[in-house]
Structure 1
Amino acid sequence: RYLSMSADSKAFPDFCFGTGVFSGAYNAITEANAYAAVERALERGVRMFDTAPYYGRSEVILGEALRRVAGRFPREHYLLSTKIGRYGPKRVDFDYSASRVRDSVAESCRRLGVDKLDIVFCHDVEFVDASQVLDEALPVLFSLKDRGIIDRVGISGYPLDTLLDLARKQAERGRPLDIVLSYCHYTLQNTLLDAYIPRFHAAGISRIINASPLCMGLFRDGDPPEWHPASEELRQATRRASILCREAGLSIADVALRFSLQ
């Protein structure tokens, strides 16, 4: 979900299809199912897809899915968002160097089958030194924006204070970020993002993505993934909430999604 703070709301959809699920981290998924999901999403009005090199074969799968429906849904029909900087689960898998950022954008374009990207984020900025983001990665991304290869430049991550600090520092350099992606901070169990919106606005951010409305699978029907960091207390509370939803003829996943989209 996008939270708009600018006048160009028509340029962005209210809903974005996150393709991290194509990595298989949440459930086993076949490429055929992924292709069908993308096609169905487009048919139902979805006009934005987010991916990343870190999400396994997500970029390749998404690119192929979009190629298969290009006759009905050409490139100008939707927005594409991807990321740079994170390429695996460990800290050693991060690379924010200028040369890697430049190569990463080119690689993503090839995998997606496009010649430009609507948004590129620095991925999970809390795991690297701020100077790497500000002095190495962002200058390359803004230079690619100047060349027309990227439309918007942003950062993504979990800690809101870290995101806000980087947004403020970048604004002080005279070229504010275009967009910020925060996840799991406006959900059924956490609405912290609400208090930060005016602060991001003051730092020049015109748009925020409220990602992962199901809180990384915490609010899916059934138990969350084994790797989910939720405490046992929170897991039990979620199970009770899920039971209450079922008794009322509802799905906790639907309730959680509606809450985050309100």
Structure 2
Amino acid sequence: MNLFIRHIWALIRKNLLLIVVRKPISTFLRAIAIPLIVVLVLAYADTFFSSKQHLGISSPHPIRSLKDALSQSSHRPTVAFVDNGFKDGEIGSVIDSLSRTIEEAGKIAKRLRTTDELADLCKTNFKGYSPCYGAVVFHSSPHEPVPNGVWNYTLRADSNAIKGDTDITTNNNGVQVYSLPLQLAVDTEIISRAGPGKVNVTQLPGTINDIIYTENTEENRLQNSKSNYLSLCIYVFGVIFLFPMVDRRLGHD
């Protein structure tokens, strides 16, 4: 029995000499530092996968006026209008009225002839941001380019402004600050010029609400977040289990 205990103590002493005395730095890293770092990372990793997003379908929120929306866009002061050469008719009248509203808000209204000029005015910087709050490209009106036509226009916006995290519990999402106020302002100006027998501005409700929605649901977002967290744990623990074997192999060599 004493011989058995002596053999065990000899093995323990040999291992302590090999891993503590002869390799103190690697032992500290492998036995204390790395496990501690891994535990801390895994403990807080769940928060890394969390998001400020709230997905689903929102409650109704009033659409901002164009002036209010422009006041929240200090880094995008320019609103551009492309008239495609229609200067003195209905399209020109709508652009003039919207330009006055924009200038009253302390912003810049630019009137352009072609979309090529728009691309040059609203070109993005190296971070992918444009100086333009938004743009409206007019294609036709009831009398331009031919009689008995229809209003046809295209809204353009900086993709970085309308993308990003979506929170259905607020009304500060990109589309609610940039796209919808501009569209409402354009539509209101168009309706105000409707002919007899058509809908007019006085028939519109005093407050127009928006309801935004996302492709994914909040339940799916939480499930994906948990799945990503568990996948991280699997990969991290797999690497951790390799450390003792690698160190042992190096010790034998």
The TM tier, using the shorter chain, reads under 0.3
Q: Which has the higher contact order (CA 8 A, sep 6+)?
A: 2
Pick the structure with more helix per residue.
2
Tell me the TM-score normalized by structure 1: 0.26
Tell me the TM-score normalized by structure 2: 0.26
